[in-house]
Structures are given as C-alpha cells and as structure tokens.
Structure 1
Amino acid sequence: MLDLTLKERFIYSLERKDVDKVPVCSVTQTGTVELMEITGAKWPDAHYDPEKMATLAIAGHELTGLEAVRYPFCNTVIAETLGCNFDEGSIDTQPYQLDFPCKNKEDVAGIIVPENLLESRRIKIMLEATDIIKSRVSDDVPIIAGMIGPAAIAFYLCGAKNYLRWCITEPELLTQLFAMGTEFCIEYANALFYRGVDAVVIIDSEAGPDIFPPPLFESLILPHYRLLTERMAGHSILHICGDATDILDMMAESGFHGLSIEEKVDLAYASKMVSDRVCLIGNISPAATLLGKSPEHIKNEAKQCIMDGAGILAPGCGIAPRTPIENIRAFVAARDEFYTK
C-alpha cells in the first residue's frame, strides 16, 4: 500500500478501495496565467492548438504538484462541434458563447451527432492533445479529460430561455437533445479512453438544482446518465456546480465512479449520504479560497475537506486563471501534512 503510483491511488480512490492517502488533484480546469507565462502555452491558443494544450496541461501537474494531468481548459469543444458560436476569450477569460442553433422548436430535429465525429475540428484537436500527453507523461500519472454532459449540451444548443421554458412546456424537445448529447458523449469519451485517458469528467451543471428543477432530474436526466455510464469504457466522474444537495442521492445512483461537488455542498453531510456508493471529490473553493486566501488558510481548509470525507481532494470547480502557483502548491502540501501529523 505504501508503494502506490499516482494512477493507482487515483483509480483505487474512484473505486472506493483502500489507499495510503487521498489523491490531490483537480478534475476541473487547471490552466493559470502563471503557468501560461512559464510555458508559453497561453489562452486562447491553448484551447485550439494540441501542442499548447498538452504543454499547459502537463505543467498543471509538473509545476504545481497536482497528481493528475487534466485538460482541456474550456467547455466549448462539443458545443462548437454541434454548431454553437463562441468568442475565443483571452489569456484569463475562457471562450464565451455568442450564438446557438436552436432558436425555435423546429430547429431541434436538425441537431444530430456528426457522422465523422472523430474527424471534426475540435474533437480532433483533443485526440491529438491526448496522444501528445501520453507520449510525454509517465504511465504512473493519471490523465483526466473533461467534457460537457447531456444537459449542458442542450443548454448550449437552445439557449437559456428555451432551456428553462422547454423543461416545463416541451420536455420532449429537451429529451431529444439529451439523447443526442448522450450518444455524442459516449462516442467521444470512448475515443479518449481508447487513446489512454484514465477518467472522463462529465461537466453538467445545467442539470443541477440551481438551473434545472430537481423533481424533473429523475425522469428527464437520470436515464441518460445511466446509459452514459453503462456504455463508457472507463472511469467516469460527474461534476455539477452549485448546491447539488437535493439531487445527491440520485447522482450517486447514476453509475459514475466519482461525484465532484462545489463548496456549496456540505461535504460532511454528503459523505454520510453517499460515500458508501461513490467517491466524493472536492471541495475547497477555487475563488474564495485558492485564489485569494493565504497558503496557511488554504492548508487548513484542505485538511478539513479530508476530515469531512473527500475521497479525492480537489477544488470544488475550475481553478481561477489568476490563482498563484504558490497557493496550488500549498493545497497539495496540505494533503501531505495531514498524513504526517
């Protein structure tokens, strides 16, 4: 048990097996301006250039001590592939949406998974970045790829107003988009697993209680999650932003190996509810704590996360681009200190 590799510790934790200490990593975005300046791999180019994407992702592991390589740094890959338009963002702002294809109900029928999905521009960039990362990183280091999930795909495709209205008035339209998004995620995720990715993170905050009515989660969202997890050929994590407390039990029944939760969820309470069924990942605040607090304060909060039941110690959401490397290193050091006290 004392000789576990980073990958073994990560996989064992997802499978809720005994480990010598919890892994410490980020299953959400890891690109920071400081890392960009050091490596020369900067946003927005690192979203679209596989070489720069790989370089920046590897730096998140090698220069901060985070125990995984995680990429990409935005949530736009699938949405752009399906026809959404984005501004590419800047060195410290992610790409943001300009337009969406499903203005009207009639537009939904025209949205399908591209026939040559793996040859589409953004997916091909991700697959090339995966090959580069695999060639440069030890096989002992876990590789984590992120993508949006069925609810987020639907949200991007039809816009906020239609999404919120249709979940009540036209749920069958969203169901069509959820089903298409699920098929897209399955094909894309399995292509990543085939190339050596160790875990896929499905980012689906638009399924969470902050946006989607919890009473509809079980009937409209959960069946697609179960299909997704049944057909993905590797370890999977679900990330939902905001306070997901009201749907934690259903999330734990969805088939994902890990649940990544924000600091708005009481980790100790979540651990009592679902840690016998799923690995809890989180949940130090990336903005309130990692970005702006002192290293000592960060360490105290991180140690509390471990005490509260984190199966994998991680930020509750994506690391803010202006977060100092010193603060991320303190976050990692907190885990080591916890087990040597």
Structure 2
Amino acid sequence: MEGDEEPVELEDQSAQETSEPILTGLPEVEDSVFSSSGARIMLPSDRRQHPMVFWLCALLLVTAMLGFINGLDYIDGDSGLINHRRFINMDTRGAAPGSAILLGTVVYEDGSAAPNHIVQVTVKRDDGTIIEKGNTTDENGNYRIEGLDPGVQVLMIANASRGTAQLVQHLVLLNPPPKMTFEPIGFTTIRLTFPSDATFEQESEDGSFINYVPYEAANEKELYDSSAAGLYVMIGVGFSGIALIGIVATVLGYRDGGRGMLRMAAVFVFLSQGPYGSACCLGALAFGLTFALPKVHHD
C-alpha cells in the first residue's frame, strides 16, 4: 500500500549507538600549550653579596653602636666622658658678675623642712675679692640668695638650733644667664639636705663640721641644677636617634645590596660622633669604602 511506511529497524540502530565510544572525561593533551623557559625573577634577597659588603656593614654597625653610646653618655651626664657640670661651667665664662640667683629649699634627711638654717655662698673673684652672701630659711625651709657670680662657688649650710653649731660645706655650680634669651639673670634651683646627728658623728672629726669640698672638687660632683642640662640631654637623644637610623639603613643596605643605602648609613653614623669623635672617623672611612664596593654579578 502507498500509505504504508517501512518499519524502522530499532535493533540495528541501538546496536550502532552502543558501538560508538562514550565520553567519560576530558581527553588528555599530549603537547602542553605553555612551557617553562627556565627564567626566574631574581629578588634582592637572593643576590650573592660580595664579602666586602659584609665587612663594611659590620664596620657600620660597630660605628653606629659607638654613636648610640655617645648619645647615652650625653643623656646621663654624671658618668662617662660627658659631664653636664663641665659644660655648664664652660658657659659661665664671660658671664656678668652678680648675674646669678640661688634658690631652693633645705630639708633634713627624712625629707622634712629645715627652718631657721643659714645658707651662705662665698664668691671668690679673679681679682682676689671675696664676697659672702647668705639667707636664712623660712618655716618651710625656703631660701633665696641674689647677686652671686655664675660658676663654681663654696656653699655653707649652718644650723645653730641644736645647741652647738653644725656646719656643712659644698661646692655649688651657679648657672649663667641663658644665652638664647634676653634674660639677664641665671637661676639655680637646688634642694639641699642637712645631715642628721648620726651623719655628723660618722663623717666629721668633731661631730659638728662636714666638708664635702675636696671630694666634690676632685670628682667634679658639685651641687648643680640638673634642669640646666636639658639642652645636653636633647643632644644625647638626637645622637642616639641618628645612630639607630644608621643601624636600620645598614641592615637595609646589606639585605638589598644597595651601595646608595650603605652610603646613607655611613652619613648617619658619621653624624652620631661617638666617644672622642670615633664615629666621625669610622663613618668617613665607611663612606669612602662604599665607592670601592664591586658590582654584584648574578648567575
């Protein structure tokens, strides 16, 4: 019949379908699209340093430590090479006579106020003139003496209220007028301690007089106003800070192998000075050696 269609052979078609391979995963690529060229990025930390760089950095670190110690010496001012009293005394040269004022309080060893004590300063001028000026402490132990000469003078504290007179002598360093201001007077504020009876018995031959002048003169331990050394403390902080910057610059220069960084480190350690100017000499040497550093070759 014309309308009849030929039957489809389902069995043959299914057989053909089963004979085709089924995709179960991505095909393997035989040749890689990308391949390594063997090149690598050279980081500064991977570079080989010349032995001279190591020894130069060691020199810079040692020099920076000298500068740091120099700064601490300025900050301390009582021990080491730097003495605040010496610097203050040098500033008194050329100061006008009578331009110093001494003020403060007198206390006992237990910290209580020492009223009715005589505080006297003896000034000996270059022409041989001797001037003595004093003041008696009030009920709070306060005293004030004007018209003194800046520099190292002899100070005496006397107490006549204990039956027999008891005297103590010190050297005192009086501040000159500040050079950076228009103030015509130099003020020195000192808290004085009057010894107890037990101290008089131990440190004096007759129990009534203690003389600290020879010891203070031999060891540069005069009584002084520590606030007058504020400028030198700031200088010490500056030296220590510059030395620390030099240490950081040295570490960075060694890590990166940069001669420019090492030169900058040499400049910083040079500015830190060091005891007897040692950092200046070694810093200048290190700066010159940076120009002799060979160029680093890479593999």
TM norm. shorter chain > 0.5: no
Q: TM-score, normalised by structure 2?
A: 0.22
Give the number of the structure whose residues are more often strand, by fraction: 2
Q: TM-score, normalised by structure 1?
A: 0.20
Bigger Rg over Cα:
2
Structure scoring higher RCO (CA < 8 A, sep ≥ 6) equals 2
